[in-house]
Structure 1
Amino acid sequence: MNSFDRATPVRVALADDQALVRAGLRALLEGQAGIVVVFEAEGGGELLERLHDTPVDVVLSDIRMPGMDGIQALQALRARGDATPVLLLTTFDDSDLLLRASEAGAQGFLLKDAAPADLSQAIRQVAAGATLLQPVSTDPVRARFQFQDQTQPSEPFNEREVAILRLLAGGYSNKEIARTIFLAEGTVKNYVSNILDKLGTRDRTRAVLKAITLRII
């Protein structure tokens, strides 16, 4: 995890198409010690333009915006090599959005009704290099996909393996998983290999889909 000087304010960019929401978020965040809102943007396009000239420590963006939405802006940001941490906000507890956000490279995904203290803590955490993982609801995925191979695992899964499978379902890398559950990256890699062997699958995507189908996660 990167070090982050607590004495230095965390510089935040806000992106939301609703002026009242931006004003509320600004007031909320600037009421917290150590956070400063550097600029606001009405959409993804404006956000990308402003970030060219005004770097920040964290981007706090709504997901659903007209034109270029939060996930599209994140994808464009990563495509141009900008690794600024991004926290995506939504009013919808939508597992598909969570999966899309994680695949696009978001560091966090929060509901807009999160407590103010949780939001400010999340901003500080991602500024320090952390990734915020939230539980992935697998029911929508199970309803959409039925993995063809439904043979049972060769061995039962222990709690640690199930936890890692859930993180794999969120689209997170071995490095992110290692940082989250305090293991060496090589140890996580070994766990993933064991998971694939137990499920009889060739890759992480097939392992996750099969684990969801079999209700392991």
Structure 2
Amino acid sequence: MTAPRATPIRIALADDQGLVRAGLRALLERQGIAIAFEADDGEALLTQLAGQPVDVVLSDIRMPGIDGIDALQRLRDRGDTTPVLLLTTFDDSELLLRATEAGAQGFLLKDAAPEDLRAAIVHVADGGTLLQPVSTDAVRARYRYHTEDPPRERFSDKEVAILRLMAGGYSNKEIARAMFLAEGTVKNYVSVILEKLDTRDRTRAVLKAITLRVI
């Protein structure tokens, strides 16, 4: 059982609309989430994060200039592994693909229930990922796997767990640490998973796994 937190979760809140930020701040503070700072675009977010670490970044995807996914990519490029939860009003498979490629831990529609948003923040702050944060029908339609009987039984529980971490953008080293395995063992598992899904690309493997309802 996870021990209760001694201090509130501290988040960075990024959205180009002031009214949206104000509403999210009021909502989350009522639920015990602390807002460390706000940013109105990706550039401001990156600048403030450099001097003020947080537990989770909660960012809109669509912002002028540096958007949420671009900011996420730059964050990862500079070695910052802070969990990022991306918000959007668009149920768009392309955004799911870009967010996955950039290493997002979560991807949530803005019309999610308040309790679901808080649960998502707590979940990613504790090292979890949101595996199917939006409707995946568009993803399944676009990346349809050509088989009449999706072979769910072909994947072991450990392979499914590794696929879920891959969906969160975790590296082999991070997966190994999370699952208490040697990095070489994880590498072997990933190779087997890619072979089963008939792809050499981790992101496409995750999307095929969604198509197959493996994760």
Q: Normalising TM by the smaller chain, what interval?
A: 0.7 to 0.9
SS where residue 158 of structure 1 aligns? helix
Paired letter, 1:57: D
SS at match of 2:59: strand
Question: How far did 1:60 drift?
Answer: 0.6
Rate the CA distance shift 1:216–1:82 in 2: closer, same or farther, 3 A.
closer
Q: 2:16: which partner in 1?
A: 17
**Distance change (3 Å), C-alpha of 1:47 and 1:4:** farther
In our comparison, the structure showing a higher alpha carbon Rg is: 1
- What does residue 41 of structure 2 align with? 43
| Contact 2:105-2:130 within 8 A present in 1 as well | yes
Shift of 1:29: 0.5
Does residue 208 of the first structure (1) align with residue 196 of the second (2)?
no
Match of residue 106 from structure 2: 108
Counterparts of 1:100 and 1:58, CA distance in 2: 19
Q: Is the 8 A contact 1:178 1:188 kept in 2?
A: no
Equivalent position to 1:86, from 78, 84, 87: 84
Tell me if 1:99 matches 2:97.
yes
Percent identical across equivalent pairs? 56
* 1:26 and 2:25 are equivalent in the alignment: yes
The correspondence of residues 1-217 of structure 1 with structure 2, limited to 5 A, is 6-33=5-32, 35-134=33-132, 137=136, 139-140=138-139, 143=142, 156-158=151-153, 160=155, 164=160, 167=164, 170=167, 172-173=169-170, 185=181, 192-198=190-196, 201=198, 203-205=200-202, 208=205, 216=212
Q: Secondary structure at the match of 1:74?
A: helix
**Does the 8 Å contact 2:72/2:104 carry over to 1?**
yes
Q: CA deviation at 1:170?
A: 3.8
Deviations 1:54-74 (A, max 9, x none): 221111100000111000111
- Structure-2 separation of matches of 1:15 and 1:134: 22
User: Is the 2:61–2:86 Cα contact (8 Å) retained in structure 1?
Assistant: yes
What is the one-letter code of the residue matched to 1:6? R
Amino acid at match of 1:55: P
Change (3 A) 1:190 1:54: closer
CA distance in 2, matches of 1:14, 1:210: 28
CA contact (8 A) 1:161 1:195 kept: no
Deviates more, 1:84-93 or 1:5-14: 5-14
1:14 partner SS: strand
Q: TM-score, normalised by structure 2?
A: 0.74
RMSD of aligned C-alpha atoms?
A: 3.9
How far apart are 1:130 and its partner, in Å? 1.7
| Alignment gaps of 5+ in structure 1 | none
Q: Equivalents in 1 of 2:207, 2:28: separation in Å?
A: 42
Contact kept, 8 Å, 1:131 with 1:176, in 2: the verdict is: no
8 A contact 2:105–2:169 mirrored in 1:
no
Distance 1:19 1:206 in 2: 34
Task: Output the CA distance in 2 between the equivalents of 1:44 and 1:89.
Answer: 13
Cα distance change of structure 1 residues 100 and 50 upon mapping to structure 2, 3 Å threshold: same
The 8 Å contact of residues 14 and 22 in structure 1, kept in 2 or not, is answered as yes
For 2:109 and 2:44, how far apart are their aligned partners in 1? 23
